Amino acid sequence: MRNTPFHIVHLDSATIGPSVTLHRPVQAHEWVSYERTAPDEVVARLKGADIAVLNKVAITRAHLEALPDLKMIALSATGYDKIDIAACHDHGVTVSNIRDYAQDTVPEHTLAMILNLRRSISAYHASVKAGDWQASGQFCYFTYPMRDLKDSVLGVIGSGSIGRGVIKLAQAFGMTILQAGRKGDKTPPQGYIAFDEVLQKADIITLHCPLTDETKDYLARDEFRQMTQKPFIINVSRGGLVNEADVIDALDEGLIAGAALDVLTAEPPMDDHIIMQNLHRPNLLVTPHVAWASEEAMQALWDQLVGHIDHFIKGTPRNCL
């Protein structure tokens, strides 16, 4: 039985909001925290560590080969696309992720984005700020389109707790739900609609699935050309699910009515990123990967993460990938 405390290193503590109570594991441990960690700092900071806590810091096979003491990676996120899971298996490193903590906050953010685009809220706010209302000569004006959500068709890609949460809220608005099967599956399971049919029928399409080799560029030029209803595209999952250059082309060609993105392929993006170059568009809405970050959800995430560490130290790991 081990008598020495576990050495735990948190590599990117700045990814947890300041409102969170950062309590620590009850099991014996030593804790070292860094706000941010660059790729070339990973090995030095994890030397001798038993457990790494991280969100967006990448862990590669080369890192693991240089860190023989590492036994666990405690992810402060659900997505694990930054971690070489196969290499972790090969090196006997347990990886635990966070699950079912954002089933309220991400659906709420999704509906907020849908409502914003569907009712042109940001566009009208910008026009008021620019003086258009003051110069209109009447009590209202009709520069931007507004549509009700009731009786509109929502296509949902992804059937986890987040997708189900979005469906629940959308049904309260009276929307018709089409839950998409996997791309290329011509005979989706009962309750699901063929992927291509969802593209053709939906007024709004929202993505709630992980980024994998299979889902990269899940929506791109070919998919946009199938969207006969000119839908809004919502992505609050991972930037790589949607081809960003093709989104801008689809807006230019009128293939989609607008897009709302909480995630991008580069985070943070540089000024020359194609989405950042198009923020002037009234039908393009961008938020900085905060759909998950309500105060309630972040606290639930941290509580779950610390529980994973305690369970691992006790020999009963949870949420293992």
CATH code, domain carrying 262:
3.40.50.720
Cα separation, 8 vs 74, whole angstroms:
10
Say whether both 96 and 114 belong to one domain: no
Q: Would the pLDDT of 69 be above 70?
A: yes
The catalytic residue positions are 238, 267, 289
Q: Is the pLDDT of residue 3 over 80?
A: no
pTM, entire model: 0.89
Examine the domain organization and report whether 80 and 40 are in the same domain: yes
Same domain, residue pair 177 and 52 = no
- Own/partner pairs, 37-40, CB within 8 angstroms, 24+ separation: 37/11, 37/12
More confident call, 62 vs 81: 62
Looking at the structure, tell me whether residues 37 and 141 fall in a common domain. no
Residue 86 CB-half CA count within 13 A? 0
Res 159: pLDDT: 86
- In a shared domain, residues 70 and 123: no
The answer to whether residues 275 and 249 touch, using CB atoms and an 8 Å cutoff, is no
pLDDT category at 79 given cuts 50, 70, 90 is: confident
41-45, 211-215, 301-305: lowest mean pLDDT where?
211-215
**Residue 320 covered by a domain:** no
CB within 8 Å of 285: residues ≥ 6 apart = 113, 116, 117, 122, 258, 259, 260, 261
Mean pLDDT of the chain: 96
What H or E segment, with its residue span, contains residue 320?
A: none
Does residue 318 lie in a domain region? no
Output the pLDDT for position 281: 96
- Claim to verify: residue 117 and residue 96 sit in the same structural domain: no
Task: Give the tens place of pLDDT for each residue, 246-269.
Answer: 999 999 999 999 999 999 999 999
Shared domain for 111 and 228, answered yes or no, is yes
Identify the band that residue 81 occupies on the pLDDT scale cut at 50, 70 and 90. Answer: confident
Residue span of the structural domain in which 186 resides: 105-286
Is 321 a domain residue?
no
Q: Do 67 and 112 share a domain, yes or no?
A: no
Q: Are 155 and 205 in contact (CB under 8 A)?
A: yes
Residue 114 and residue 42 share a domain: no
Q: 192 lies in a domain? A: yes
Mean pLDDT of 32-38: 97
Residues 69 and 206 in one domain: no
Domain count, the chain: 2
